[in-house]
Amino acid sequence: MTHRARTSVGAGLLVAAAALLSVGQAGAPGQDWPRFRGPQASGIAEGHPTPVSWSVEDETNILWRRPIPGLAHSSPVVWGDSIFLTTAVNTEGGSSLRVGLYGDIQPVPTEAVHRFVLYRIDKRTGEIRWERTAHEGMPRRQRHTKSTHANPSPATNGEKVVAFFGSEGLYCYDMEGNLVWKKDFGPLDAAFFVAPDAQWGFASSPVIRDDVVYVQCDVLNDPFLAAFDLDTGEERWRTARDDVPTWSTPTVHRTADRTLLLVNGWKHIGGYDARTGEEIWRLQGGGDIPVPGPVVAHDLVFITNAHGGPAPIYAVRLDAEGDVSLEEGQSSNRHVAWSNMRGGAYLQTPLVYGDYLYSCRVNGVLSCYRARTGERLYQERLGKGGTGFTASPVAGDGKLYFTSEEGDVYVVKAGPEFELLAKNALGEVTMATPAISEGTLYFRTRHHLLAVRDDEARASSCRSLWPALASLVPPAGR
C-alpha cells in the first residue's frame, strides 16, 4: 500500500472514531430525548458514561452554560444535535418564584404581557440556532407561586416540534422554525378543584407517536384527551374526561396487539386506545391532585400520586380491561399486580431502572422497591428534610439523578442498596426534569440551560480506541 493510500485509510479511521465519540451523531444509541422524560417516558438513557461529579463554579465537567430569559419549568428535549426548550418572558421585567415546602394555594396576581418562546439550541455548543415567539399577550390564567406560564415540555420526532403553552395554545413548527399549524383551546383552567380561584397553571406536556400529537387537558371545565395529525393539525379524535384538574403528562405504549394512551388521574386513572380514544381500563382512587406520569416496565403500568390523604403506587398489568379499581382492603386483583397505599409521590414521576422502582417524595424521602412485587428494599432521605424535590429523576450508566429545588443533584448508585455517590450544586433553583443525550446531562435551572458531561470518561473511551484503530492501519511499505 502506498503512503498516500495508508494515510487515507488512517484519516478515514480517525474520522470514524471522532464520529463515534462526538455529541450529535444522528442515530447514536441513547442520543434522542424526544419528550418529557425521554424515550417512552422512561427517564433512562444508556450506552454512554454519565458524570458522577461536577462543579459549575470551577467549570469542571461543564461543557457549556447558556443564559435563558424568562421563567419556565419546561424540560429540554433533544433530537440529533439540537435541543428544544420553551420559556415565558415577562416583558416588564422578572417574574417571582417561591420554592420550598409550604402549603399556600393562592396564585400569583395577574401579571404583565408575556412572550411565549420556543428555542432551538445547538447541543454541542449551547448556541441558539433560532427562537420563535409563538404568542405574545397577557396570560389568560394565573399561576401558582411555585409554577410558571411555560410548564409543559416540547416534543419532537426529528421532523416537527410541538410546543404547548396551555391557555396560550399548541404550536407545531418544522425543524427550521417555520410555523406549520397552531391550536387555540381557549382558557385551560388548571385550578384546585375545591378552590377554583386557586389557579395554578397548566403543566401536561404533549406527546408525539406515529405522526400523532396527544394532549391531556384535565381542567375545571370540559376536560378531555385529544389526538391531532402531526402534519396538518387535524383533530383525529377527542374523548371527554370525568376528572378534576391534573398536571400529569400521558404515556403512549405499544403492545403486541394495541397502542395504549396511559393517563394519571384521581377519578379516572386509565388506559385508552391511542388510535380511537376509546377507554380500555380505568382505576379510581389515590391522591386528588395527580402530577406524576405513568411509567411502563416489566409488562406493568406504574402510577403514583399523593395529596389529600392517600399516596398510592399502583402496578397495573398491561392487559388490564374494564374497571380495575381495588375494593376496600385489597392490595391487588386480577388486573393490579400490587399496590402500596403509602409509598406514592406527589410531584415526581417514579423511575423504573432494571428490576427496581424508585419513588422520591417532595420532602426527599427516597424508597426503592422490587418492581415486579412491590417489596420495599430501602428508604433513605436526600437533603435535610426541609428541601423540596419537584424535578423527576433520570438514570443512565448505573446512576440515578435526583435534583432538589435548591439545585443540588444527588447521584445515587442504582441497585437494591442505597449508596450516595455524590452531591453536586447547580448554583440555582432547579425545578425542571433534566434530559440525557450521549452521556451528557442537560439541566434547566432558574436562569440557565447547562450541559454536564464526564470529560475524563470520554477521554478514556477515546484513548481505548487508538490501539484497535492503529492495528487496522497497514504498516509502511506494504
CA atoms within 13 A on the CB side of 110: 7
Segment 120-128 mean pLDDT: 98
pLDDT at 456 (0 to 100): 83
Residues 395-407: pLDDT tens digits?
999 999 999 999 9
Residue 384 has pLDDT above 50, yes or no: yes
Query: In this structure, which amino acid lies at residue 166?
Result: G
Residues 266-278: pLDDT tens digits?
999 999 999 999 9
Residues 160-219: pLDDT tens digits?
999 999 999 999 999 999 999 999 999 999 999 999 999 999 999 999 999 999 999 999
Segment 250-259 mean pLDDT: 96
Residues 399, 258 share a domain = yes
Alpha-carbon span 28 to 45, nearest angstrom: 11
Alpha-carbon span 153 to 35, nearest angstrom: 7
Residue among 293, 292, 286 nearest 340 (CA):
286
pLDDT at 285 (0 to 100): 87
Residues 465, 424 share a domain = no
Residues 226, 83 share a domain = yes
Segment 274-292 mean pLDDT: 96
Given the DSSP bridges, would you call strands 300-304 and 313-317 parallel, antiparallel or unpaired? antiparallel
Residue 116 has pLDDT above 60, yes or no: yes
Cell 432521605 identifies what position?
381
Residues 95, 9 share a domain = no
**Cell digits for 30?**
441513547
Residues 432, 421 share a domain = yes
Higher pLDDT, 19 or 240: 240
3-class DSSP state of 3 = helix
Q: How far apart are the first and last CA of the chain?
A: 5
**Cell digits for 70?**
424568562
Query: In this structure, which amino acid lies at residue 44?
Result: I
Residues 366, 404 share a domain = yes
**Cβ contact 50:414 at 8 Å:** no
Residues 80, 2 share a domain = no
pLDDT at 474 (0 to 100): 53
DSSP state of 454: -
**Cβ contact 402:413 at 8 Å:** no
Q: The domain that contains 182 carries what CATH number?
A: 2.130.10.10
At 440, is the pLDDT very low, low, confident or very high (cuts 50, 70, 90)? very high
Alpha-carbon span 10 to 232, nearest angstrom: 48
Residues 447-460: pLDDT tens digits?
999 999 998 876 76
Percentage of residues of the chain with pLDDT beyond 70: 89
**Cell digits for 226?**
385529544
Residues 328, 200 share a domain = yes
Query: In this structure, which amino acid lies at residue 456?
Result: E
Residues 77-88: pLDDT tens digits?
999 999 999 999
pLDDT at 227 (0 to 100): 98
pLDDT at 462 (0 to 100): 55
Residue 64 has pLDDT above 80, yes or no: yes
Mean pLDDT of the chain: 92
What residues form DSSP beta bridges with 207? 214
Structural domains counted in the chain: 2
pLDDT at 160 (0 to 100): 98
DSSP state of 55: B
Segment 330-346 mean pLDDT: 97
Percentage of residues of the chain with pLDDT beyond 90: 86
**Cβ contact 178:132 at 8 Å:** no
Residues 63, 14 share a domain = no
Q: Which residues in 80-145 belong to E strands, given as ranges?
A: 82-90, 114-122, 128-137
Residues 478, 355 share a domain = no
DSSP state of 202: -
Residue 23 has pLDDT above 90, yes or no: no
Residues 46, 143 share a domain = yes
Alpha-carbon span 11 to 29, nearest angstrom: 24
Alpha-carbon span 243 to 233, nearest angstrom: 26
pLDDT at 469 (0 to 100): 47
At 464, is the pLDDT very low, low, confident or very high (cuts 50, 70, 90)? low
Segment 280-291 mean pLDDT: 95
Segment 246-264 mean pLDDT: 97
pLDDT at 460 (0 to 100): 66
pLDDT at 202 (0 to 100): 98
Which structural domain range is residue 69 located in?
24-452
> What is the edge-to-edge ordering of all strands in the sheet holding 155-156?
155-156, 160-164, 170-174, 179-183
Residues 83, 10 share a domain = no
pLDDT at 309 (0 to 100): 86
pLDDT at 111 (0 to 100): 86
pLDDT at 457 (0 to 100): 72
